[in-house]
Amino acid sequence: MGLPVVAIVGRPNVGKSALFNYILSKRLSIVHEQSGVTRDPVMSPCEHYGRKFLLVDTGGLGTHPKEKNVDLFDGMIREQVMQVVADASVLIWVVNCQEGITPQDEEVADFLHKTGKTVVVAANKADNDNVRKQAFGLFAPLGYLDIHAVCCTHTYGAGLLMDAVVEHLPKQEEDAEGEEEKEPKRLKIAVVGRPNVGKSSLVNRLLGNKRVMVSDIPGTTRDAIDVPVDLKYNDEILPATIIDTAGMRRKKQIDSVVEFFSLSRSETAIKRADIVLFMIDATDPCTTQECRIGRVIVDARKCCIMLANKWDIASKTIKEKEFIQHVRERMPFMDHAPLHIISALNGYRLKGIVGHLLHVREQMGVLIPTGVFNQFLQDTFARTPPPMSGTKRFKCYYGTMKQNNPPKFVLFCNKRSLCPAHYMQFLQNQIRDAFFPEAGLPIVMDLRERTKIDEADDTRKAAAGVKRVKEKEYQEEHRRVQRRRGYIKKG
């Protein structure tokens, strides 16, 4: 994104994620007293008194090399942290005032001294004045003198800490006219699905590097991780932010607070995304949980593209046409979403996803003129009229497009209850096929009954009165002309 990077590092369970959320003033990273909750780096743009930078929360630099009980993810976390540290301009090293210097802190100090990076020490959990006064003398033996006492739970000390951090940031060059170049609006793309379906593998493939952890263990990803990237397709570039989410389990299977927060972050990622890449397992498609996730996407009214992953395995047992037919039969509520068959492991058909995203971005900017839309409604109602409801029929007098993403249309009709659900679905499909083909955009239709004059507001009543007066004057003038020509006799 062209911003200097400020990385928060330290051993596990010292309050790195809490400090990250405190600086941003929002709950972005999962905070829990359990050790090792954060695994993948979580990043977000930040600003402190006009100085912009990219703040990164990292996983804990965990166990000693000599310890036997080494977590599987400790090596992966260390690799991730080393990559972030290499790109960082300033490091915020978080230590714990309540525990003082531990052997792990000494290991982290050796690692940071070798990097040669500028380090600002945040002495966290300084709950009272006595602890804050002792913070400098307590951690000065680590070799860094820029030490600031903070307390995330009591919201103390972050301002002074960030003042010290921004002093070490490189100065941002401004244009000759003093105007900063605006960052292009990035398309937010959320990758969702059930656990161990290949979401992180797809994200790494799209990014071109191992940005997020990948393992065979379900639940490896915990936070919703935003990664800004410029996706390329032929000669076109798509500025985007890819959101890698945790696998969405059934609520009955959630047995820890961390998993509950992971599910909450995934649902929030769907709501704030522009496009949702819904990944299903081609070896075991359309499970009950995948249908639930699909319902969440539909209820959120988000543009959706379905990706059937692990086709390198599923292709040995089923043909592509049969598989597509099976998915459409089991998930008819997702018929509007295009289906891509891919393999994130070997990159099979992944290039077509970026091309499809460019097509969807174009469709999200389409606004249908009112005259064109009303002509389309007239043709549709004439070709396929709505069914009778008793002695009455649903009538649409006028329609207009209100917004896009999702496309929302307002139809003025005689009575909403006369339009059956299947005919409403028919109209949505016709609109999608005519104006938004292969885009995966949900069509939202708002039926409004024509207001009676007795129930209308004063403005409409006045307009209706003027119309009646003009009609009466027109009828009188018409009768005078007819009498003058002899078509109507007096008396």
Mean pLDDT of the chain: 83
Confidence of residue 183 (pLDDT cuts 50, 70, 90): low
pLDDT of 253 strictly over 60: yes
pLDDT of 179 strictly over 50: no
- Asked if residue 127 belongs to a domain, the reply is yes
pLDDT of 84 strictly over 60: yes
Task: Say how many domains are in the chain.
Answer: 4
Q: Do 202 and 39 form a contact (C-beta atoms < 8 A)?
A: no
- Of 389, 282, 392, nearest to 343 by C-alpha is 282
- Asked if residue 374 belongs to a domain, the reply is yes
Place of tokens 């009676």: 452
**Residue 465 and residue 359 share a domain:** no
Confidence of residue 71 (pLDDT cuts 50, 70, 90): low
HEC string for 187-232: EEEEEECCCCCCHHHHHHHHHCCCCCCCCCCCCCCCCCEEEEEEEE
For residue 83, give Cα distances in angstroms to 56, 87, 422. Answer: 12, 7, 54
Confidence of residue 190 (pLDDT cuts 50, 70, 90): very high
Confidence of residue 490 (pLDDT cuts 50, 70, 90): low
- Asked if residue 177 belongs to a domain, the reply is no
Alpha carbon distance 193, 344 (integer Å): 14
Average pLDDT over residues 48-54: 88
**Residue 341 and residue 214 share a domain:** yes
Confidence of residue 338 (pLDDT cuts 50, 70, 90): very high
pLDDT of 491 strictly over 60: no
Confidence of residue 32 (pLDDT cuts 50, 70, 90): low
- Of 54, 64, 70, nearest to 1 by C-alpha is 54
At a CB cut-off of 8 Å and minimum separation 6, what does 8 contact? 16, 19, 20, 55, 56, 57, 58, 91, 92, 94, 122
> How high is the pLDDT of residue 70?
44
- What's the pLDDT tens digit per position in 425-448? 999 999 999 999 888 889 999 998
Alpha carbon distance 347, 205 (integer Å): 7
Q: How many CB atoms lie within 10 A of CB 459?
A: 8
pLDDT of 254 strictly over 80: no
pLDDT of 72 strictly over 50: no
Return the amino acid letter for 232: K
Q: Do 258 and 37 form a contact (C-beta atoms < 8 A)?
A: yes
Average pLDDT over residues 467-475: 84
Average pLDDT over residues 451-474: 72
- Asked if residue 40 belongs to a domain, the reply is yes
Among 169-183, 218-232, 434-448, the range of highest mean pLDDT: 434-448
- Asked if residue 182 belongs to a domain, the reply is no
> How high is the pLDDT of residue 66?
40
Q: Is the bond preceding 406 in cis, omega lying within 30 degrees of 0?
A: yes
**Residue 43 and residue 84 share a domain:** yes
pLDDT of 181 strictly over 80: no
> How high is the pLDDT of residue 174?
53
Beta-sheet pairing, 236-244 with 5-9: unpaired
Average pLDDT over residues 21-36: 74
Q: Give DSSP secondary structure letters for 132-178.
A: HHHHHHHHGGGS---EEE-BTTTTBSHHHHHHHHHHTSPPPP--TTS
**Residue 160 and residue 240 share a domain:** no
CATH of the domain at 313: 3.40.50.300
> How high is the pLDDT of residue 255?
65
Return the amino acid letter for 378: Q
Alpha carbon distance 157, 151 (integer Å): 7
Return the amino acid letter for 358: L
Determine which of 165-174, 185-194, 263-272, 467-476 has the lowest per-residue pLDDT on average.
165-174
Place of tokens 């590092």: 9
- Asked if residue 247 belongs to a domain, the reply is yes
Phi, psi of 476 (to 5 degrees): -65, -45
**Residue 209 and residue 324 share a domain:** yes
pLDDT of 249 strictly over 90: no
**Residue 205 and residue 160 share a domain:** no
Question: What does the block give as tokens for 95?
Answer: 């230590």
> How high is the pLDDT of residue 68?
39
Q: Do 55 and 175 form a contact (C-beta atoms < 8 A)?
A: no
CATH of the domain at 417: 3.30.300.20
Query: Which of 167, 198, 231 is the last residue in one of the domains?
Result: 167
Q: Do 311 and 284 form a contact (C-beta atoms < 8 A)?
A: no
Structural domain containing residue 388: 370-449
**Residue 305 and residue 250 share a domain:** yes
**Residue 358 and residue 242 share a domain:** yes
Alpha carbon distance 74, 76 (integer Å): 5
pLDDT of 175 strictly over 50: no
Query: Which of 317, 347, 363 is the last residue in one of the domains?
Result: 363
For residue 161, give Cα distances in angstroms to 145, 172, 444. Answer: 13, 20, 48
Q: Where are the beta strands (DSSP E) in 368-449?
A: 388-389, 392-393, 396-403, 408-413, 444-449
- Asked if residue 491 belongs to a domain, the reply is no
pLDDT of 193 strictly over 70: yes
pLDDT of 36 strictly over 70: no
- What's the pLDDT tens digit per position in 118-149? 999 999 988 888 888 888 888 988 888 899 99
**Is the C-alpha dihedral spanning 380, 383, 388, 391 positive or negative?**
positive
**Residue 410 and residue 473 share a domain:** no
**Residue 280 and residue 375 share a domain:** no
- Asked if residue 139 belongs to a domain, the reply is yes
> How high is the pLDDT of residue 206?
87
At a CB cut-off of 8 Å and minimum separation 6, what does 67 contact? none
- Of 424, 419, 430, nearest to 394 by C-alpha is 419
Q: What is the CA radius of gyration of the chain?
A: 30
Q: What percent of the chain has pLDDT over 70?
A: 85
Determine which of 171-180, 184-193, 472-481 has the lowest per-residue pLDDT on average.
171-180
Average pLDDT over residues 442-455: 78
Question: What does the block give as tokens for 220?
Answer: 């490896």
Determine which of 173-177, 304-308, 309-313 has the lowest per-residue pLDDT on average.
173-177
Query: Which of 115, 138, 167 is the last residue in one of the domains?
Result: 167
Alpha carbon distance 248, 190 (integer Å): 13
Phi, psi of 178 (to 5 degrees): 85, 10
> How high is the pLDDT of residue 311?
92
> How high is the pLDDT of residue 80?
80
Q: What percent of the chain has pLDDT over 90?
A: 25
**Residue 71 and residue 121 share a domain:** yes
> How high is the pLDDT of residue 250?
76
Average pLDDT over residues 168-194: 70
pLDDT of 34 strictly over 70: no
Top pLDDT among 235 and 253 is at 235
Average pLDDT over residues 273-294: 91
Alpha carbon distance 159, 356 (integer Å): 44
**Residue 198 and residue 102 share a domain:** no
- What's the pLDDT tens digit per position in 341-373? 999 888 888 888 999 999 998 988 889 999 999
